[in-house]
Structure 1
Amino acid sequence: MRTSRIFHPQPLSVDSQITLTAEATNHLANVLRVKEQQAVVLFNGDGNEYSAHLSEVSKRKVVATIDAKLSISIESPLNIHLGQGVSRGDRMDWVIQKSVELGVSEITPLITERCGIKLNQQRWQKKHEQWQKVAISACEQCGRNVLPQIHFPTPFNDWINLSTNQIRLTLHPRAEQAFRHVSIPPTGARLLIGPEGGFTDQEIYQTEQSGFYTVQLGPRVLRTETAAISAITALQAIHGDL
């Protein structure tokens, strides 16, 4: 049986005992039906992982004893900040999940003109919390010990005008420059992907005025989620660790 990896949002130290979160407890005790003394791996985002065993297991409480601290890093050498236009349904969850698995450093959901979701501040907060959980789950699955930063949903104009020393790239199917010809600096890339329906002409103009290079992956028009994952994969294959 594969050893479960569990995120715990508190400091971890060798020989200490910790009570796992309610969510982790439910997953281990009621879904996986683990037993006492079973091995688990814990991480809290500090860049390390901690081998542990379960010293107490019940339906409502699981306690782990930490046995060792391991300095294991599988982070990509390429820093990628994804600016993703928010889309309807589960597309945004899917993009966040796969982007984390592919090693992105930061993700900012963007509210664009063609954004299909109109929410108040409270409901955007719930969405943000949901996306953070998706990122944590992806880290548990893929073995990352550093949590990528999931920023609060941000207006398109605010994000494209933020100061950065990364190269700025906008994916667009009608761009003249091919993606493979882009030179990525050591500081990494800020990658901009539109929502369903893409960016408006005005938004493309604004990105160019803000220093973004418009590039294309190929002649076909990709869905927003396909575009994001394809672009990240290409960046990692050319300049990262794939």
Structure 2
Amino acid sequence: MPPRIHVDVPLVAGTELTLPGAASRHVQVLRLQPGDAITLFDGQGGQWQAEVLAMGRKDVTARLLAHQPLERELHTPVTLALGMPANERMDALVEKATELGVATIVPLVCERSVLRLAGERAERRSAHWQAIAVAACEQSGRNRVPQVLPPQPLRAWLAGQPLSLPASLPAEGLRLVLSLADDTQPLRQRLAAHGGGPVSLLSGPEGGLSPAELAAAAAAGHLPTTLGARVLRADTAPLAALAVIAALESPP
């Protein structure tokens, strides 16, 4: 199978193009040669059969051949909003969530968050996580790259006004918050009662969401939802929920 490479420029059949820097480096690291087959995708759906035309010291030229209208997305668009776990766990979470089919990732700063990012540091980390999502798409076969938004306060996201960005809180669809409270319903039960459309899944940081944050989530329409009796880590719970959603969509 030809290697899959993401390019952040529009692709048109029959054209020749110089691959962007990251894509060129990818081809060079793989030690590909002129005439070798590659698969390119621009993140907007489908993928392209292509071949390497020339290998320069810094640039790689390729020719686009045929478009393949493949879709490997979940039928249910999932927005995953989560209190960022500390250390390198957020990197792994972005990677695995992308593999599982997430559509949008919203890193949140919560009352109990260990990792707190703002300003230029937040922008750098957001770009880093977006690159991880691209690499995960290349590996997993996805042709649409999920969007990783800049970190923002939980309250701002719940208000639908995240740092001058378009509102990321779905206006319609199912809103869920992972909770261990007594009045929760299992995720499978919530999904079974859902009539279709997007799903917004809110998950807390280490130590969970505070009572005030849970109340604010409930006021914004998020239904308390459980994954079972065991307490899962901040980087485990959202992935477990995504796996359930993906499994329920899989053919028998």
With the length of structure 2 as denominator, give the TM-score of the two structures: 0.89
* Secondary structure of the corresponding residue to residue 236 of structure 2: helix
User: Which residue does 1:212 correspond to in 2?
Assistant: 222
Structure 2: which amino acid aligns with 1:27? Answer: H
Aligned 8 A contact 1:5 1:42 in 2: yes
Identity of aligned residues (%): 32
How far 1:25 moved relative to its partner?
Answer: 1.9
User: Which residue does 1:152 correspond to in 2?
Assistant: 150
Does the alignment pair 1:57 with 2:65?
no
Aligned 8 A contact 1:26 1:59 in 2: no
* Secondary structure of the corresponding residue to residue 35 of structure 1: coil
How far 1:161 moved relative to its partner?
Answer: 3.0
Aligned 8 A contact 1:25 1:59 in 2: no
- Quote the Cα distance in structure 2 between the aligned partners of 1:88 and 1:174: 24
- Quote the Cα distance in structure 2 between the aligned partners of 1:102 and 1:241: 12
- Quote the Cα distance in structure 2 between the aligned partners of 1:22 and 1:211: 43
Does the alignment pair 1:178 with 2:186?
yes
Q: How far does the alpha carbon of each residue in 1:188-230 deviate from its partner, in whole angstroms, 9 at most, with x for none?
A: 3100011122111211121112211111111110011110110
* Secondary structure of the corresponding residue to residue 136 of structure 2: helix
User: Which residue does 1:7 correspond to in 2?
Assistant: 6
Structure 1: gaps spanning 5 or more residues: none
| Counterpart pick for 1:101 among 94, 99, 104 | 99
How far 1:236 moved relative to its partner?
Answer: 2.1
User: Which residue does 1:48 correspond to in 2?
Assistant: 46
User: Which residue does 2:250 correspond to in 1?
Assistant: 241
With the length of structure 1 as denominator, give the TM-score of the two structures: 0.93
- Quote the Cα distance in structure 2 between the aligned partners of 1:120 and 1:165: 29
Aligned 8 A contact 2:80 2:105 in 1: yes
* Secondary structure of the corresponding residue to residue 52 of structure 1: strand
* Secondary structure of the corresponding residue to residue 106 of structure 2: strand
Q: Which moved more, 1:157-166 or 1:75-84?
A: 157-166
Structure 1: which amino acid aligns with 2:89? Answer: R
How far 1:3 moved relative to its partner?
Answer: 1.1
- Quote the Cα distance in structure 2 between the aligned partners of 1:17 and 1:135: 26
Does the alignment pair 1:194 with 2:193?
no
How far 1:78 moved relative to its partner?
Answer: 1.0
- Quote the Cα distance in structure 2 between the aligned partners of 1:73 and 1:102: 14
User: Which residue does 2:165 correspond to in 1?
Assistant: none
* Secondary structure of the corresponding residue to residue 53 of structure 1: strand
Does the alignment pair 1:225 with 2:232?
no
Structure 2: gaps spanning 5 or more residues: 161-168
How many equivalent residue pairs? 239
Q: How far does the alpha carbon of each residue in 1:41-63 deviate from its partner, in whole angstroms, 9 at most, with x for none?
A: 00112212111000011342211
Does the alignment pair 1:78 with 2:76?
yes
Structure 2: which amino acid aligns with 1:140? Answer: E
